[in-house]
Amino acid sequence: MRSKIFVSAQEVAERAGVSRSAVSRTFTPGASVSAETRERVLRAAEELGYHVNHLARGLMRNESGIVCLIVSEVATPYRSALLRELTLQLQNAGKVAMFINTDRSDGSVDRALQQAIRYRADASVILSGLPDKSITQLCLRNGQRLVLINRDDDQPGPLRINLDDDEAGGRILTAFVRAGCRRLAFANSEAGTPSLMGRERGFVAGARALGMDVIVERHGWTGYEAGRVLAHRLLTAKERPDAVFCATDLLACGFMDAARHQFGISIPDELCVAGFDDIEQASWSSYELTTFAQPVAEIASKAVEWLTKFEREDGQGDVQSIRLRAELLWRKSIRARKS
C-alpha cells in the first residue's frame, strides 16, 4: 500500500482542533494568530508531515515565486560566480531560481523559455549580452518582470544593470602608459557583446586621444584557447605590442601562457597584460593578473531588490538603468611605473 504523499491543511486543522483559516494564518507571515493556536498547528503539522504548498498559494495571488535565470557561457568562472550569488540572494528572498542555458542556437532555448512561462514564472534575469533580443521581447509580452545584465536592449520596462566598461578601458590605458608602454593591443573575442565592445571602445578611444594606435584582434568566444590564438597573432606581428588589454581574464590567462611558453616572453618585464572580471584564477601565482573586479554581489543585490520591490508596487514604469564601476585590482602583470 502506498503511503500518502500530500497532507492537506484541513487534515492539520482537524488534528490540531482548530479551523482551516487558523492553519492558513499560522503559515502566513504577519497574520494574527494566538501563541496557543500557533503551537497546536505547528505540532500537528510536524506530526503529519505537512508542508505549505507555496506554488498553489502563489498562483492564487498570481505570483509563483519562480525567477528564470537566462544564461550563456555558463562554464566560464565569471558567469558561474554571478549565478552562485544570484541564486543565493533569490533563495534568501524566498524565490525559486529556474535555469535556462542559451549556449545552443537551436529551438531548445525557445522551448525551455516557453516551459518556464507555462510554470507562471514571475520574472527573468538575462545574465549576458549573447541571448537574442527576441528572448527579451518574449519575456515582456508574457508580463514578466525583467532584469538585463550587461545588455543594451532599449525596451521600456526592464531594469538594466551595466558596468562602466568604456571608462575601464581608459583607466587601464593610463596604467600602461605610466609603465612606459607605447605599443598597445586589445585582445577580444568575436562575441560582440555590449560589455566586451565597450571595453574595446574605451581603450581605443583613450589611446587615440593620446596620439597612440591600438592593434585590435578578435577570435572565437571568450575562453582560454582564444587567448592563446590571439597571443600567437599579436606576438608574431611586425610591431609586437608591449602592452595588451584582454577583454576577459580567461582570454588573458591563455594569452599569458602562450606568451611565456611559446615565445619565451617575460611578464611584465617585456610585456604588460591586463584582464577583466577578477575570476579566481587571476589571483593565482601563475598569473597574478592586474584586472577589473566585477561587483558580482552588488549586481545580484540590485537585481533581487528591484524584483522584490515590484511585488509590492504596481507597474514598472520607464526603462531604468544602473551603471556600476569595476574596481581595478593591481597585481604583478603590469610593471611598476617608470620614473
Q: Are 235 and 260 contained in the same domain?
A: yes
Residue 334 resides in a domain: no
Q: Are 220 and 148 contained in the same domain?
A: no
Q: Are 143 and 190 contained in the same domain?
A: no
Q: Are 178 and 283 contained in the same domain?
A: yes
Cα dist. 314→145, 211, 310, 311, 317 in Å?
A: 11, 52, 7, 8, 9
Q: Give dist(CA 209, CA 213) in Å, integer.
A: 10
Burial pattern 31-57, b for ≥16 Cβ within 10 A else e, equals: eebeeebbebbbebbeebebeeeeeee
Residue 128 resides in a domain: yes
The torsion angles phi and psi of 123, rounded to 5 degrees, stand at -155, 165
Q: Are 270 and 171 contained in the same domain?
A: yes
Contact 199, 292 (CB under 8 A): no
Q: Are 191 and 282 contained in the same domain?
A: yes
64 vs 58, higher pLDDT? 64
- Please check the confidence at residue 6 and state whether its pLDDT lies above 80: no
Tell me: the pLDDT tens digits for 138-176? Answer: 777 777 888 999 888 777 788 999 999 999 999 999 999
Claim: this prediction has a pTM higher than 0.85: no
**How confident is residue 199, by pLDDT bands cut at 50, 70 and 90?**
very high
What per-residue confidence (pLDDT) applies to 94?
A: 85
Tell me: the pLDDT tens digits for 285-322? Answer: 999 999 999 999 999 999 999 988 765 455 444 458 89
Q: Are 206 and 223 contained in the same domain?
A: yes
Q: Are 313 and 258 contained in the same domain?
A: no
- Please check the confidence at residue 266 and state whether its pLDDT lies above 60: yes
What per-residue confidence (pLDDT) applies to 259?
A: 97
Q: Are 248 and 227 contained in the same domain?
A: yes
24 vs 209, higher pLDDT? 209
What per-residue confidence (pLDDT) applies to 110?
A: 67
- Domain of 97, CATH number, reads 3.40.50.2300
Residue 21: give the domain boundaries: 9-52
